Structure 1
Amino acid sequence: MTQALDTSEQEIFLTPSAAKRVAAIAEKQGKPAMLRLAVEGGGCSGFQYKFELAEAVESDDVTAVESGVTLVVDEISLDLVRGSAVDFVESLGGSAFQVTNPNAASGCGCGSSFSV
């Protein structure tokens, strides 16, 4: 069952900066403003984040909405990222989506891999 969570119960968050970037990418590609965050095995630390534009919300997804943009996370990935914030960060080293994950025991220098 799809769960739309309000901020008092929200299990995952999308920052305004990330929402703005997703909206811009989705508009250029002619897709819905919907970002899917998934966790896969692999990476330097055991798990890695995967981002992609989503076409639809699946029945087992949890969603968070910010500024009209939807963040979509499947229930299995949610167990590893619950309480996280997805942000879009621009720095001298480049720009990227970044997950601030309170469940991660360690991470790697690239910021896309973590362990629990």
Structure 2
Amino acid sequence: MNETAPSESAKAETITRDDAGVENPGITVSDRAASRIAKILESEADGAMLRVAVNGGGCSGFQYDFQITTQRGDDDIVLQKAGVTVLVDEISSEYMKGAEIDFADELIGAAFRINNPLATASCGCGTSFSV
């Protein structure tokens, strides 16, 4: 994955968790990702948000999971960018310190990408990684 630091425009507007004031571990959302999330959420229920989680599995040990939800957990870190909300649970955030949630629209396809500086290896699928 990309090892570069997130751009200034990628920084999420909200960088703390509302309930406990815990600082976001540097997870950011790019403008492209925020735009695509907004487009996806247009057809969802009011209050819909994108949840990004890290689960065990995949071909490299861990994999990213993307889900649409209307429920926020007590341990969620809330990222807000350009009117959309992205949730990352506290455990997943430990595996995503300094990561940028991005969206790539290329000739071979379009997909969300996580540019994670903690990933030591990743799979061509773009959702599996190891630390």
Fold in common (TM above 0.5)? yes
Q: Which stretches of structure 1, 4 residues or more, deviate above 2 A after TM superposition?
A: 8-11, 29-33
Distance (Å, rounded) in 1 between the aligned partners of 2:88 and 2:24: 15
Q: Tell me, yes or no, if structure 1 residue 28 matches structure 2 residue 34.
A: no
Q: How many percent identity over aligned positions?
A: 46
After superposition, the CA RMSD in angstroms is 1.8
Between Structure 1 and Structure 2, the one with more strand by share is: 1
Distance (Å, rounded) in 1 between the aligned partners of 2:97 and 2:85: 16
Secondary structure of the residue aligned to 1:82 is coil
Gaps of 5+ in 1: none
Matched to 1:112, the amino acid is T
The within-5 A match list for 1:77-116 is 77-116=92-131
Contact 1:98 1:111 in 2 (8 A): yes
Gaps of 5+ in 2: 1-15
Matched to 1:23, the amino acid is A
Contact 2:52 2:67 in 1 (8 A): yes
Distance (Å, rounded) in 1 between the aligned partners of 2:77 and 2:31: 19
Specify which of 60, 73, 85 is matched with residue 70 of structure 1: 85
Distance (Å, rounded) in 1 between the aligned partners of 2:77 and 2:94: 11
Q: Which residue of 2 aligns with 1:3?
A: 17
- For normalisation by structure 1, the TM-score amounts to 0.88
Q: Which residue of 1 aligns with 2:67?
A: 52
Q: After the TM superposition, which of the residue ranges 29-38 and 10-19 deviates more from structure 2?
A: 29-38
